[in-house]
Amino acid sequence: MTDLGFDAVIFDHDGTLVDTETPDFRAWEMLYREFGATLSMQHWAKTAVGHMHGYDPLFADLIRQNGNGTGTASLRKRLEELWELTLQNVELMPGAEQVLKQLQANNIPLAVATASDRQWVDRWLTRFNLLPYFQVIATRDDVAHNKPAPDVYLFAAAQLGTVPARCLVFEDSLAGLQAAKSAGMTVVAVPSFITQSLDFSQADEIVPGLQGVTLAWIEALASRPRLS
Q: Read off the pLDDT of residues 80-97 as tens digits, 9 standing for 90 and up.
A: 999 999 999 999 999 999
The one catalytic residue among 14, 142, 151, 204: 14
The residue that leads in pLDDT, 205 or 70, is: 205
Q: What pTM was computed for the model?
A: 0.93
What is d(CA 47, CA 164) in angstroms, rounded to the nearest whole number? 27
Phi, then psi, of 123 in degrees rounded to 5: -55, -50
Is 7 part of the annotated catalytic residue set?
Answer: no
- What topology is assigned to 8-19+91-222 in CATH? Rossmann fold (3.40.50)
Is 61 part of the annotated catalytic residue set?
Answer: no
What is d(CA 192, CA 19) in angstroms, rounded to the nearest whole number? 8
Residue pair 27/88 in contact by the 8 Å Cβ criterion: no
What's the pLDDT score for residue 67?
A: 61
DSSP one-letter string for 58-125: HHHHHHHHH-S---HHHHHHHHHHHHHHHGGG-EEPTTHHHHHHHHHHTT--EEEE-SS-HHHHHHHH
Question: Is the pLDDT score of 170 beyond 70?
Answer: yes
Instruction: pLDDT band for 1, please (50, 70, 90 cuts).
Output: low
What does the angle CA 63 – CA 67 – CA 70 come to, to the nearest 5 degrees? 55
The domain limits of the chain are 8-19+91-222, 21-89
The residue that leads in pLDDT, 46 or 149, is: 149
The one catalytic residue among 7, 12, 19, 24: 12
**First-to-last CA distance in the chain?**
28
pLDDT in tens, 118-164: 999 999 999 999 999 999 999 999 999 999 999 999 999 999 999 99
The identity of residue 225, as a single letter, is P
Cα-only R_g, the chain: 18
